[in-house]
Amino acid sequence: MLFEGLELVSALATLAACLVSVTLLLAVSQQLWQLRWAATRDKSCKLPIPKGSMGFPLIGETGHWLLQIFSKIFSHEALESYLPKIQLVIQDTLRAWSSQPEAINVYQEAQKLTFRMAIRVLLGFSIPEEDLGHLFEVYQQFVENVFSLPVDLPFSGYRRVRERCPWEEGAGKAIREKLQCTQGKDYSDALDILIESSKEHGKEMTMQELKDGTLELIFAAYATTASASTSLIMQLLKHPAVLEKLREELRAQGILHSGGCPCEGSLRLDTLSGLRYLDCVIKEVMRLFTPISGGYRTVLQTFELDGFQIPKGWSVMYSIRDTHDTAPVFKDVNVFDPDRFSQARSEDKDGRFHYLPFGGGVRTCLGKHLAKLFLKVLAVELASTSRFELATRTFPRITLVPFFGLDSNQNKILPETEAMLSATV
């Protein structure tokens, strides 16, 4: 009995010693990490380094951050050629939504919509709807593992991202079919431009490079646009006065008849650019519900920030959401108010760095014009064909009912407009 007691005490003492040793090792390594960064301070600058932790060795503040959670392709000419295709994809999607008797999850459906847009418009793939659904599931699995720890073990997320076998199989088949069917195309998609541009520079893209290119193009147009689309739908739902003011602008610009029917062929790039209130709505959605929280930059020259020096060579993160929330130029920052971007108020013009939903400087998001174009077309189609109302008071659901269209005499409801869609967010 005494012998067993001594063994237990010895085991506990060993465990305690191990815990103390690990704690001391972590503490010492963190202090050395702090000293390592302190040594990078610019000696020619007398300002102190900012207070705060530099995080743990190697991983820095990654854990804390996680807890707080090209170009011709986007030129004016390219966007003009994309527009009819984008509108067609959105129209087809809204018809599909309205044919479903059950409620839908808006964010999930918006993900499918932006994926379909990227596949059909940016890549120009002609994929059957069933195969497109399978490719979407494969892509979803890829996205879910993109931010895995870089540990190359079997069945790890990092290994799945590196292999990408299911995606490459589907994308390779679509690329080969696309390369064989180049006759009769009415526009050049982003992948066409990418291929032709590489040829102009004397380099033929390999199949692997084409597969990687498709992945990058979809990744750039996928999640963030889906998030912004969901926010747009929600704000139009919650603010019927904004929706009605948008409809008034569409009627005034000849995009809608007085009865609510959309005018055929009314959407062009210059037409959309002239819709000032629509532009204000999109800007306000991106201010209040920015899909990207921030970005990373490397300091090229030591600068001062609130009395502290930020040394050259440091990596810094700027917060888009915090900037929008704290910028003094915006009044009532929590209120959805598109008119703050009107010519009369122009709150975003009082300073260069108060409004930056797409980042800023030379690394501004290349796809920002495509994203805004997509959101504008979505808003126009929704305002033209749908009315919004809450389906229940206890669960955030949207009911989208295609807007009652009138015949040429403005006195009869057209039967094909009587479908209804319920959607959840």
Does residue 338 belong to any structural domain of this protein?
yes
Q: What is the pLDDT of residues 274-306, one digit of tens each?
A: 999 999 999 999 999 999 888 888 899 999 988
Residue 394 lies in a domain: yes
Assign residue 328 the CATH number of its domain. 1.10.630.10
Helical packing angle, 240-252 and 276-288, nearest 10°: 150
Binding-site residue ranges: 365
pLDDT in tens, 386-412: 666 655 554 445 555 554 433 333 333
Q: Tell me, what's the pLDDT at 186?
A: 66
Is there a domain that residue 416 lies in?
A: yes
Residue 286 tokens, joined: 């991106």
Binding site residue list for heme: 365
pTM of the model: 0.77
Q: What is the pLDDT of residue 244?
A: 92
Residue 218, pLDDT score: 87
pLDDT of residue 146: 79
Per-residue pLDDT, 94: 86
Give the per-residue pLDDT at 48. 81
The per-residue pLDDT for 407 is: 36
**Residue 239: inside a domain, yes or no?**
yes
Query: Could you tell me the mean pLDDT of each successive run of 10 residues in the chain, 425 residues long?
Result: 63 77 75 72 78 66 51 83 92 84 80 92 86 87 81 79 77 85 71 82 84 84 89 89 93 74 71 94 95 88 92 91 91 95 88 86 83 95 74 52 41 31 45
Is 413 part of a structural domain of the chain?
yes
Asked whether the beta carbons of 172 and 181 are under 8 A apart, the reply is: no
Contact predicate 262/385, CB 8 Å: yes
CA-to-CA dists, residue 205 to 83, 274, 407, angstroms? 27, 39, 52
- Domain containing 190 equals 72-126+181-424
According to DSSP, the β-strands at 386-390 and 303-305 are unpaired
CA 289 to chain centre: 11
Number of domains in the chain: 1
Provide the token pair at 352: 């260069």
Strand 294-298 to 386-390 pairing: unpaired
In a domain, 56, yes or no: no
Asked, for residue 151, whether it belongs to a domain, the answer is: no
Judge whether 322 lies within some domain: yes
| Structure confidence by residue, pLDDT tens digits, 16-69 | 778 878 778 777 777 777 777 777 777 788 788 777 766 666 566 655 544 443
Distance separating alpha carbons of residues 379 and 388, to the nearest angstrom: 12
